[in-house]
A and B are shown apart, each in its own frame.
Chain A
Amino acid sequence: MAQASIDVRDLVVRYGDVVAVRGVSFTVGAGEHVTLLGPSGCGKTTTLRAIAGLERPASGEIAIGGRPVFSSRPSVNVPAERRGLSMVFQSYAIWPHMSVFDNVAYGLRVRKRPEAEVTSRVREALELVQLGDLSARSASRLSGGQQQRVALARAFVFGPSVLLFDEPLSNLDAKLRAEMRVELKELQRRLDITSVYVTHDLEEALAISDRIVVMRDGVIEQVGDPSEIYDRPRNTFVADFVGSANLIRGRRRTDLERDGQVVIETAGGSLVHGTAVGRPAGAEALMAVRTVRLRLERTRPATPVNAWAARIRRRVFQGDFTQYHVDWDGGRLIVRSAAGEPMAEGEEVFVSADPRHCVVLEE
């Protein structure tokens, strides 16, 4: 059983009087990599720990591979050690009194595998995380990155049906984190195990997930694949949390709408064409457009719609891109541009956006 699906239904977790998770439902298909994304305190780690069996939910149902492991009615609660899954902890939780080898071998020895098999599988796992030559070292003498790899090897070596990750990269420095992100993705694909990953880091979530579940205050805000989450945020929270976005509010101009587009007129009189992605839009609507989806040009672009005159107010050079704060329509827009030649502060320019990237938000 290398892969198992996960079904979470109406999950509620309480800590005393505090409700950490308030009725969360989602599924993870066999072999799928799903990320729970959200700010701290949103209930993502609690949800993960409930799946693991380390937190006892107040109500709801959790099934792994179709088999209920928790249910409030009828009462079922399979202890964590019998759920057949595995987990990488935020703190790594490497046992300091054991060697690297013994740490990794733990799950196999618990399952009473013959010692020859233990040796070969541990060696294989350590090779996979590029720690082959460290197996005899005491685990208390490892760097953070090495501990991370040991934790990984220990988690997958005994062939769990699901791998859970609790912010595994958050204790690494930025450079190592970026490296490990790629490595982790490769490992995930190679092992082909169902995984649930918890993080508050957007880039991490976008990089390694098949699907992302965005959470806030114990409820799910949006579920979708990475590009969907990024380009079509459902509401202001997701738009804001998932990378930076400009929010534009305006009165509906149904008289100008065609081809399924939604058109609004801002307080300053600008017309913005956008898409509703099937969402209901009322007499007034709020649109989000990503800062990187806006274009700056010195001459008016040839597009029929969504090109507006504006003025550069402030320019902030940030290396990979330049961030412009632009006076537009009596308000402010933020534009991130990777273009080579910089615009000067005070310059009169044109801002434009593809209507596909101006997305109506639910309110």
Chain B
Amino acid sequence: MELDHGALTRRGVELREGWLPGPQLVSLVVGGAAAVLVLYPIAYLIQASLSVGDPQARPPEAYGLDNFTGLGRYAHIFGNTLQVAAVATVLAVVVGFTMGWILSRTNVPGRAAFEQLMAMPYYVTPLMGALAWALIGAPSSGFINQAWQALGGKSHLIDINTAWGIAWVMALFEGSVAFVMIGAVMKSMDPSLEEASQVLGAGRLRTMLRITLPLVLPGVLGAAVFVFAEMLGSFSAALVLGLPSRFYVVTTAMYQLVSQYPPRFPTAAAMGVSLFAVMFAMVWIYRRIVRAGTYVTITGKAFRPRVMDVGPLRWPLLAICVGYLTVAVILPVLTIVYVSFQRLTMAFPRADNFTLDNYATALSLDAVRSALGNSLVLGVATATIGIFLMGFLSWLIYRSRIPGAGAIEYVLMFPQAVPRLVFAFGMLWAWLVFPIPIYGTLWLLLIAYLTVFLPLGLRTISGVILQIDKSLEESAQMCGASWGHRLRTVTMPLLKPGLVAAWLLLFIASVRELGASILLMGPKAKVITPAIVESWFSTSSELTAAMALLQTLAVVVALGVLFAVARRAVQQGGE
């Protein structure tokens, strides 16, 4: 930099010093790299969907829209997807709204405990739920139908291998997501808004209809759109429950098209792009609803919600809470445990039918052992690299005030609108042509996990970042600390609880990931969740149940060990 008089040279030096360690360059590099991670596979997905030459050729021989126009043949699959997603969304929102209202606005006994327990369905996962409900509700061998036949009933009472069955299992799982979203809206509503209505002479019903409902409506609508988008892209329940009856939704059809011989990549890609377009629109609508609606109810203040005395109605409401947790958590888990100890799955226990063989088999199988080991290693790696990467990215987006932060955020949240299976499909193509041979190794899975869980990690960490008052960092700056020093002494320590939570979420999510893993894992580098699904379709349900429980157990043990180690480290550090 040339300055016109000598007295200013000192200023020039300062400027250069200020630039060198400045965050701009680092920000650009990291933000750019993360954006490539996201956009590279999407580009390949779109390229594949436009390939009209030899379906196996890479890069495509010719481009055109034939794959999209040819999707008409699969109209019934799109119909199936919409049916399942719509039914499941209605069910999940009803569950979420009812539970949200009961637990935040009534004096049902044990509200605080129930609120904690409402996270359980989320941890049970749709795969576990689907396996359990397949055992409970399969048309011939399901427990309920066995019982029905034992009571003299003819054929079967229920059939879980239908659109309704799939929607049921998804809704049980997604109900807890809807609950979290709707419950938050109900809690953030200023109770004085309702009290004002009552003081002005409106009755309870009128207050409910004219004040409460309009205020929570945007939140409920937002939750519905969000849940619907998730349902459109969900995979595991539709796979486990739909495959036996050849009932396909878009994601399972894509999986089928890719894994059959010869694979039909371009058709699958076109399906993926269509699904992605619809989900993208949904997420866009969701954001609009949230932005337009929240100003009324969410003021950023935490209110103590006004609790209504519902009198003897408490007990039926309590029954609803217990009932939901029973079908969503207790029944599935008990079923899996019960089946895992049986020689042959039977509804009614018999002493000679109990065995530990399934566990012995599962643990002796090299494939299971290595898959479980791989999953845990990947989980730790994803979570550890993830919190550094995502922590830095969150800070970059929400705090650093670099130009283009909004655009970076938009790109990084992209995977939210893409089903993991679809995303993995793009990665499959993208990394096959990548000069470094990582295809079929755990490295590819690591990259895949880091990419598809970007929105999860960013949302968790940025939630904490946004809670930290900006002036806490600014005051460090005013004390003369450089940005690196501030990050180390103020920002990171304040973020610690959020980072720990994000680590756990990423670890659990990685170990149990299915949609991306099932497409990307190589024959020599298997992971546990796809192995469980494989076992379900090719070996016995009893062995599968044992494997599913071993996976859960491994996660719990791993977390226990890590917590113990972390606590000791903290204690030693503190002394």
**Closest CB-CB distance, B255 to chain A, in whole Å?**
46
Please encode chain B, from 446 to 478, with 1 for each CB lying within 8 Å of some chain A CB and 0 for all others.
000000000000000000000001011011111
A80 to B471, Cβ gap below 8 A? Answer: no
Partner of A89, one of B14, B474, B485, B496: B474
When C-beta atoms are compared, the residue in chain B nearest to A86 turns out to be B478
Residues of B close to A158: CB separation below 8 A? 479-480
B559, CB-defined interface residue at 8 Å: no
Residues of A close to B489: CB separation below 8 A? 106
Partner of A82, one of B4, B14, B493, B494: B14
A107 to B474, Cβ gap below 8 A? Answer: no
Measured CA separation A34–B11 after assembly (Å):
27
A54 to B474, Cβ gap below 8 A? Answer: yes
**Closest CB-CB distance, B138 to chain A, in whole Å?**
54
When C-beta atoms are compared, the residue in chain B nearest to A155 turns out to be B478
Given contacts A90-B471, A93-B471, A106-B489, contact A52 B478 (CB under 8 A): yes
Residues of A close to B11: CB separation below 8 A? 67-68, 76
A269, CB-defined interface residue at 8 Å: no
Residues of B close to A78: CB separation below 8 A? 14-15, 18
Partner of B479, one of A53, A74, A76, A154: A154
When C-beta atoms are compared, the residue in chain A nearest to B482 turns out to be A81
A106 to B469, Cβ gap below 8 A? Answer: no
Measured CA separation A79–B482 after assembly (Å):
9
A74 to B478, Cβ gap below 8 A? Answer: no
B475 to A93, Cβ gap below 8 A? Answer: yes
A91, CB-defined interface residue at 8 Å: yes
Per the 8 Å Cβ criterion, residues 31-80 of A in contact with B are 52-54, 67-68, 74, 76-80
A229, CB-defined interface residue at 8 Å: no
Residues of A close to B474: CB separation below 8 A? 52, 54, 80, 87, 89, 93
Residues of B close to A13: CB separation below 8 A? none
A85, CB-defined interface residue at 8 Å: yes
B344, CB-defined interface residue at 8 Å: no
- With a 10 A CB-CB cut-off, give which of B8, B469, B472 has the most chain A CB atoms: B472
Please encode chain B, from 8 to 33, with 1 for each CB lying within 8 Å of some chain A CB and 0 for all others.
10010011001000000000000000
B478 to A81, Cβ gap below 8 A? Answer: yes
A174, CB-defined interface residue at 8 Å: no
Per the 8 Å Cβ criterion, residues 139-157 of B in contact with A are none
Contact residues of A: prevailing secondary structure: mixed
A258, CB-defined interface residue at 8 Å: no
**Closest CB-CB distance, B5 to chain A, in whole Å?**
10
Partner of B476, one of A84, A85, A106, A164: A106
B479 to A110, Cβ gap below 8 A? Answer: yes
Partner of B480, one of A76, A97, A111: A111
B15 to A76, Cβ gap below 8 A? Answer: yes
Per the 8 Å Cβ criterion, residues 231-268 of A in contact with B are none
When C-beta atoms are compared, the residue in chain A nearest to B478 turns out to be A87
B490, CB-defined interface residue at 8 Å: yes
Per the 8 Å Cβ criterion, residues 105-119 of A in contact with B are 106-107, 110-111
Measured CA separation A363–B507 after assembly (Å):
68
**Closest CB-CB distance, B561 to chain A, in whole Å?**
26
Residues of A close to B494: CB separation below 8 A? 95-97
Inter-chain pairs besides A106-B481, A151-B475, 19 sampled, C-beta below 8 Å: A54-B477, A67-B11, A76-B11, A76-B15, A77-B15, A77-B18, A78-B14, A78-B18, A80-B477, A80-B478, A82-B18, A84-B480, A86-B479, A87-B478, A97-B494, A107-B479, A110-B480, A158-B479, A158-B480
Chain B interface (Cβ < 8 Å from any Cβ of A) = 3-4, 8, 11, 14-15, 18, 469, 471-472, 474-482, 485, 489-490, 493-494, 496
**15 A-B contact pairs sorted by A residue (CB < 8 Å):** A74-B3, A74-B4, A76-B11, A76-B15, A80-B474, A80-B478, A81-B480, A86-B479, A89-B474, A90-B471, A93-B469, A93-B474, A106-B476, A106-B479, A154-B475
Chain A interface (Cβ < 8 Å from any Cβ of B) = 52-54, 67-68, 74, 76-82, 84-87, 89-91, 93, 95-97, 106-107, 110-111, 151, 154-155, 158, 164
